[in-house]
Amino acid sequence: MAGSSRKCHNDYIISSPGDVSPSLPNRKAKLRYTPKPDNQFRETSEINAMKQVLQNMRDGKTTVAEIPVPTPRAGHALVKVAASLVSAGTERMLVEFGEKSLLGKARSRPDLVRQVLDKMQREGVIPTLQAAFNRLDQPMALGYSSAGTIIALGEGHVPGTSGMDGFKIGQRVACAGGGYAVHAEYNVVPRNLLTPLPDSVDFESAAFTTLGAIALHGFRLAAPQLGENVAVIGLGLLGLLTIQIAAAAGCRVLGIDTNPERVQLAKTFGLEAVSRDLAVEAAQSFSFNRGFDSVIICADTSSNDPVELAGIIARDRANIVATGAVGLTFPRKVYYEKELNFINSRSYGPGRYDASYEENGQDYPLGYVRWTEGRNFQAIVSLLESGKLKVESLITHRFPIEQAPEAYEIITGKRKTPFLGVLLTYAVDQLASSPVIQFSKQVNRETSKQENLETGKPGNRITVGVLGAGLFANATLLPAMKKVEGLELVGIASAGGLHAQHSGQKFGFQYACSDDEQILNDPNINTVMILTRHDTHADLVARALQAGKHVFVEKPLAITSDQLSVVSEQLQKTDNCLLMTGFNRRFAPLAAQLAAHFAHRAEALYMHYRVNAGFIPSTHWMQHPDQGGRLIGEGGHFVDVMQFLCGALPTSVYAIAPTDNGRRYNNDNAL
């Protein structure tokens, strides 16, 4: 939207440290970069940030980086981490995958190769390769099981949930989930992946909660009853937790492993265990020649031996559950003759991979889903508290987070040393009696005069702050912005901090942070680009305008008429700030030629615009009601192009959609 040539200005609020918890000493989740002589950038200690373990997916290298402290949103808590558990299964596989060459990655993941080939057919070779390399360029946060203390709660309330009821600042908790309970000094974790800790459970033991839930979920899927015979194949960390859980449930348990030391360790828990070469004979004796009612495979091997052994020692119609990553070529004869049930266990339990449960805090009804992943976490903590699940003797190595790469040398076998539980530890500062993290700014007022963006004169200073650092920003907008002469990239923010830090270094920003207020209230920024998810656009636009910034926002500008009204009212109140929505198709060369061709027509212009944007499943984030759907999220592009070509606004709008009740099409997938 065009404005007059007067300069945009506003009063600004400058933050003071205020009342900050000692556990987060004067950290406003910000990194600053200063240029080196060779135009590279380095991190400085001007403002402290947290340490986090990252993996480079191109070469598999594991590093400890300085990352902005993440900002909790509604339904989430900021946790100061005391201990986290390194997974010798999942994390080792990720590191080994990252270390492979491109050809090696393709060979190990043919499913991803098929996705790339399909994308090439739809979108072309070059865009597909660019997207693939952009994904490889993104750092991966490692870890999924930690424990610590809540130091802040996200503001606001997620409709349909209990919010953060039951959690408070200063509370000790176990944390779970990839992307949440990562190896970092601070985690932002949603409520359903948090479990309160009793005083008797220490942080190191609590760091086993997530792995314990994996073992517990596998045990539940096997569905053994009191007094039944259960065999556990593989006595690594997962197997040693599983045999204790089975014993606590009143089952007769036999552990089996190829490593004699693991067998002996299992016996220290008062349980029976044998080596692999004695397994068949021992199984017959242990089960009184009946076979095992349940067999749980916790081994980590590409060999088919575990599933073959499970079939041999199982009774007729027994349940066999795999919680470990093993070869799955089944001997049909024995599985057929015994009519065995095989289940591949999925992570921690019901709720896993469901965004409405994990991210939005919507719990499942107890009467229908007794053991969700969250309730499995609670059960593991109860077993730890009662002493029925012992993990102290399973800890073989501890490393401070600064030495995390050494831990990965051990679990990947680069350093030849026996191991089981490998923990990362973190400095635990003394918490204040009521620690508070002040996320909102309270301010001095000073005026910042900004440059006129309308004159187009050389030397105009356009200083940009970016909100959002996702794939579209990194693959499309930020590379283009970096090439624009006279454009100064000042700050970039993302809620988790990690993507902002990566993009900040890659594209030459002056700092990265996790708090949008830092960008909106920075007097050195006169233009804000909003590249976040659709439901956040209108609020951020209104706040940026209120702060006196020029605004570029990716489509859509708003997803409801009420949101649009708020933006419109704020724009009218704002003194000459420019607002532009990213309807970029009107700027395509062909669109400009078409507009010029039809500019002097004497008759009405009739247009029929058919769009094949491709199918998006109903589970995609864009299809969530909170995000407005595809018509609002994408369809605006095409309405804008038609308005541009004809030079007029619509006089009437209507839509026709298929009515198959969502079986094949979402309502706005086909119009």
Q: What is the CATH number of the domain that holds 111?
A: 3.90.180.10
Contacts of 52 (CB under 8 A, 6+ apart): 64, 65, 66, 67, 141, 182, 183, 184, 185, 498
Q: What is the mean pLDDT of residues 554-567?
A: 94
Among residues 52, 53, 56, the alpha carbon closest in space to that of 136 is found at 56
User: Has residue 380 been placed in a domain?
Assistant: no
What's the CA gap between 574 and 507, in Å, rounded? Answer: 31
If you average pLDDT over every residue of the chain, what do you get? 83
**pLDDT value of residue 455:** 42
- pLDDT bucket at 208, cuts 50 / 70 / 90: very high
Among residues 70, 373, 346, 73, the alpha carbon closest in space to that of 193 is found at 373
Please, are residues 251 and 230 in contact by the beta-carbon 8 Å criterion? yes
Per mean pLDDT, which range of 85-94, 187-196, 350-359, 506-515 is the poorest? 85-94
- pLDDT bucket at 456, cuts 50 / 70 / 90: very low
Residue 96 is classified by DSSP as H
Residues 465 and 602 reside in one and the same domain: no
Whether 314 has a pLDDT exceeding 70, the answer reads: yes
- pLDDT bucket at 130, cuts 50 / 70 / 90: low
Q: pLDDT tens digit string along 233-285?
A: 999 999 999 999 999 999 999 999 999 999 999 999 999 999 999 999 999 99
**How many beta carbons lie within 10 A of that of residue 515, not counting itself?**
23
Name which residue leads in pLDDT, 203 or 25: 203
Query: How many domains does one find in the chain?
Result: 4
Residue 156's domain comprises 49-197+391-425
User: Has residue 26 been placed in a domain?
Assistant: no
Q: Token pair 């700050």 is at which residue?
A: 491
CA 360 to centroid of chain Cα atoms: 13
**pLDDT value of residue 80:** 96
Q: What is the mean pLDDT of residues 308-312?
A: 97
CA quadruple 193, 198, 203, 209: dihedral sign: negative
Q: Token pair 């080994």 is at which residue?
A: 96
**How many beta carbons lie within 10 A of that of residue 21, not counting itself?**
21
SS3 sequence of 507-568: HCCCEEECCHHHHHCCCCCCEEEECCCHHHHHHHHHHHHHCCCEEEECCCCCCCHHHHHHHH
Residues 609 and 472 reside in one and the same domain: no
CATH number, domain containing residue 512: 3.40.50.720
What's the CA gap between 567 and 557, in Å, rounded? Answer: 8
**pLDDT value of residue 43:** 34
Question: Of 293, 318, 346, which residue is a domain's last?
Answer: 346
**pLDDT value of residue 319:** 98
Please, are residues 664 and 565 in contact by the beta-carbon 8 Å criterion? no
**pLDDT value of residue 60:** 75
Structure tokens at 230: 């259960």
Residues 497 and 522 reside in one and the same domain: yes
- List beta partners, residue 488: 463
Per mean pLDDT, which range of 108-112, 149-153, 241-245, 563-567 is the poorest? 108-112
Name which residue leads in pLDDT, 616 or 652: 652
**How many beta carbons lie within 10 A of that of residue 146, not counting itself?**
31
- pLDDT bucket at 424, cuts 50 / 70 / 90: very high
SS3 439: coil
Name which residue leads in pLDDT, 116 or 620: 620
Among residues 542, 587, 588, 583, the alpha carbon closest in space to that of 562 is found at 542
For the chain, the residue count is 671
Q: pLDDT tens digit string along 153-185?
A: 988 777 767 678 889 999 999 999 999 999 999
Residues 82 and 180 reside in one and the same domain: yes
User: Has residue 32 been placed in a domain?
Assistant: no
- pLDDT bucket at 477, cuts 50 / 70 / 90: very high
Q: What is the mean pLDDT of residues 209-227?
A: 97
Share of the chain above pLDDT 70, in %: 80
Top mean pLDDT of 67-81, 305-319, 642-656 is at 305-319
Residues 66 and 116 reside in one and the same domain: yes
Please, are residues 381 and 195 in contact by the beta-carbon 8 Å criterion? yes
User: Has residue 367 been placed in a domain?
Assistant: no
User: Has residue 497 been placed in a domain?
Assistant: yes
Contacts of 642 (CB under 8 A, 6+ apart): 607, 609
SS3 127: helix
Residue 223, Ramachandran bin (φ over 0: left; ψ between -120 and 50: alpha; else beta): left
What's the CA gap between 26 and 240, in Å, rounded? Answer: 42
Q: pLDDT tens digit string along 13-68?
A: 222 233 333 333 333 444 444 333 333 333 333 335 899 999 887 777 889 999 89
Residues 217 and 96 reside in one and the same domain: no
Please, are residues 548 and 576 in contact by the beta-carbon 8 Å criterion? no
**pLDDT value of residue 296:** 98
User: Has residue 485 been placed in a domain?
Assistant: yes
Residues 163 and 295 reside in one and the same domain: no
What's the CA gap between 82 and 202, in Å, rounded? Answer: 10
Whether 84 has a pLDDT exceeding 90, the answer reads: yes
Question: Of 538, 562, 582, which residue is a domain's last?
Answer: 582
**How many beta carbons lie within 10 A of that of residue 566, not counting itself?**
16
What's the CA gap between 415 and 479, in Å, rounded? Answer: 40
- pLDDT bucket at 87, cuts 50 / 70 / 90: confident
- pLDDT bucket at 1, cuts 50 / 70 / 90: very low
Q: What Å distances lie between residue 491 and 33, 67, 306, 510, 521, CA to CA?
A: 10, 14, 53, 6, 11
User: Has residue 370 been placed in a domain?
Assistant: no
Residue 428: burial class (beta carbons within 10 Å; 0-12, 13-18, 19+): middle
Residue type, 195: T
Please, are residues 268 and 243 in contact by the beta-carbon 8 Å criterion? no
Residues 236 and 338 reside in one and the same domain: yes
Structure tokens at 388: 């029925």
Structure tokens at 632: 């609002």
**pLDDT value of residue 435:** 28
Residues 53 and 181 reside in one and the same domain: yes
**pLDDT value of residue 668:** 53
**pLDDT value of residue 206:** 98
- pLDDT bucket at 440, cuts 50 / 70 / 90: very low
- pLDDT bucket at 124, cuts 50 / 70 / 90: confident
Residue 41, Ramachandran bin (φ over 0: left; ψ between -120 and 50: alpha; else beta): beta
**pLDDT value of residue 661:** 58
What's the CA gap between 633 and 618, in Å, rounded? Answer: 14
Among residues 166, 50, 58, the alpha carbon closest in space to that of 105 is found at 58
**pLDDT value of residue 630:** 84
Q: What is the mean pLDDT of residues 275-296?
A: 96
User: Has residue 258 been placed in a domain?
Assistant: yes
Residues 611 and 519 reside in one and the same domain: no
Residue type, 459: G
**pLDDT value of residue 624:** 79
Q: What is the mean pLDDT of residues 645-666?
A: 74
Residues 334 and 417 reside in one and the same domain: no
Residues 327 and 417 reside in one and the same domain: no
Contacts of 207 (CB under 8 A, 6+ apart): 83, 84, 85, 145, 146, 147, 174, 423
Kind and range of the H or E element at 464? strand 462-467
Top mean pLDDT of 30-39, 81-90, 221-230, 567-576 is at 221-230
What's the CA gap between 301 and 326, in Å, rounded? Answer: 5
Please, are residues 85 and 207 in contact by the beta-carbon 8 Å criterion? yes
Share of the chain above pLDDT 90, in %: 58
Please, are residues 61 and 55 in contact by the beta-carbon 8 Å criterion? yes
pTM (2 d.p.): 0.79
Whether 352 has a pLDDT exceeding 50, the answer reads: yes
Question: Of 314, 346, 378, which residue is a domain's last?
Answer: 346
